[in-house]
Amino acid sequence: MILHVTDKTNGGVRRADLLYAFSTVPRDLNFIDHRMDSETAPVVVLDQNLLQNTNAEISFSSGHRPKPDAFELFKGSPWTVLSRAFAEHCVVAPDNLPRTMLMYFSNALNPMEFYFQTVMANSAHFKNSTVNHTFRIAVPETAPPHRSRYDAVVSSGAAFAGRFGDDGDEALLQRIDEELLRRPLDGVTPGRWCAGSDEQAAGEECSVGGDIDVVRQGEAGQRLASLMAGLVGAGP
């Protein structure tokens, strides 16, 4: 099931389902795909686009970062779900580890595949509050046997999906909007936040505001909550 469609501007979010699913698990959990990677030394690159308004190619250095002795390297998916406590830890850096990691992975290729994974795994406080999962499914390029691509994505129970092609996946995205999000073309996702009629709630705007604190989950929220329960070992 897709709550948020990534890598495409006209994706949508079922906030009520997402909020419900996360309300069934402890708030201090982080969902980070990670694995130890002591063999890969980060490649040093220079991205001119970070320094000026250009569309230049990344320049690769012939050197690599030396492998550290003070901490172990971890690698994983750049798609993460972080708790507020862990995000604040990375910003405030009370033990200097996040700042050390920031310097180590500066000018490295694909730092988002290393940074949060390495900080988490080397932190005594956070390494035991992390679930090795991203809630993201890679959209299959072709339909699996006896199933459509839509059914394969929806039945996965994932919260996020990607990557979608620029043109070839328009039909799939349109079906997600219509059947899953119930959102019209160029409209917004309906919900209890709008107290107007069904037509207004599903249109481009809502003239009568509703209760933004009401969370009424659907089948999608139940599926995601079940997936979370299996991962963390606690029922919703």
Task: Write b or e for each residue in 68-89: b if 16 or more Cβ atoms lie within 10 A of its Cβ, otherwise e.
Answer: eeeeebbbbbebbbbbeebeeb
What tokens does 98 get?
């996040």
Q: What's the confidence (pLDDT) of residue 21? A: 85
Give the number of other Cβ atoms within 10 Å of residue 209's Cβ: 10
Mind listing the pLDDT tens digit for each residue in 96-148?
Answer: 899 999 888 888 888 889 999 999 999 988 988 899 988 887 777 777 777 78
pTM, two decimal places: 0.74
Q: Which of 30, 33, 4, 29 is nearest to 16 (CA)?
A: 4
43-46 vs 59-64, strand pairing mode = antiparallel
Q: What's the confidence (pLDDT) of residue 234? A: 46
Going by pLDDT thresholds of 50, 70 and 90, the confidence category of residue 10 is: very low
> Percent of the chain scored above 90 by pLDDT?
16
**Greatest Cα-to-Cα distance within the chain, rounded to the nearest angstrom:** 62
Domain coordinates in residue numbering, the chain: 4-27+137-232, 31-128
Q: How far is CA 101 from the centre of its chain?
A: 21
What tokens does 53 get?
């308004």
Going by pLDDT thresholds of 50, 70 and 90, the confidence category of residue 8 is: very low
Q: What's the confidence (pLDDT) of residue 123? A: 92
Mean pLDDT, residues 39-66: 76
Please indicate whether residue 3 or residue 61 has the higher confidence score (pLDDT).
Answer: 61
